[in-house]
């Protein structure tokens, strides 16, 4: 906590102690009710209007959310030496598995496939 916040907390504890002794109340209950020690760095306390309780509000992450990359590649069916393959617009050749295709090589200009080593 910063020095200013510590001074404020000390002053508030003194005020609550005076109130407790004046009205014959339990000092610790007052301090726990109005100065909860759950205040951590990066958290704010907001007083709820409905039921008179303290609500701790945590800071949210800043910035944009990262988009999940679920890449869908447009392909067409290509048959080479009696086997079916999927070929994309960059002439990359994949196995003919629509759910989990695996890169197998590159389609050349003459229509043949150069398989990866």
**63 within domain boundaries:** no
Looking at the structure, tell me whether residues 51 and 97 fall in a common domain.
no
Domain count for the chain: 2
**24 within domain boundaries:** yes
**21 within domain boundaries:** yes
**66 within domain boundaries:** no
**70 within domain boundaries:** no
Q: Convert the pLDDT of each residue in 18-55 to its tens digit.
A: 998 999 988 888 888 887 665 444 455 555 555 555 56
**47 within domain boundaries:** yes
Write down the H helix ranges in 23-64.
27-34
**Could you tell me the residue range of the domain that residue 27 belongs to?**
3-58
By DSSP bridging, strand 75-80 and strand 54-58 are unpaired
**83 within domain boundaries:** yes
Q: Convert the pLDDT of each residue in 50-106 to its tens digit.
A: 555 556 666 677 777 666 666 777 899 999 999 999 999 999 999 998 888 899 999
Looking at the structure, tell me whether residues 8 and 54 fall in a common domain.
yes
- Exposure letters 23-60 (e unless 16+ CB within 10 A, then b): eeeeeeebbeeeeeeeeeeeeeeeeeeeeeeeeeeeee
**67 within domain boundaries:** no
Looking at the structure, tell me whether residues 51 and 12 fall in a common domain.
yes
Looking at the structure, tell me whether residues 46 and 16 fall in a common domain.
yes
């Amino acid at each position: 906590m910063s020095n200013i916040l510590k001074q404020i907390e000390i002053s508030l504890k003194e005020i609550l102690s005076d109130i407790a002794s004046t009205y014959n109340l339990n000092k610790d209950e007052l301090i726990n009710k109005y100065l909860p020690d759950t205040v951590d760095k990066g958290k704010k306390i907001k007083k709820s209007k409905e039921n008179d309780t303290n609500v701790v509000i945590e800071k949210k992450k800043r910035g944009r959310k990262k988009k999940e990359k679920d890449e869908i590649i447009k392909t067409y069916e290509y048959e080479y030496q009696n086997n079916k393959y999927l070929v994309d617009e960059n002439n990359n050749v994949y196995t003919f598995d629509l759910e989990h295709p695996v890169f197998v090589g590159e389609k050349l200009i003459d229509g043949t496939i150069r398989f990866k080593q």
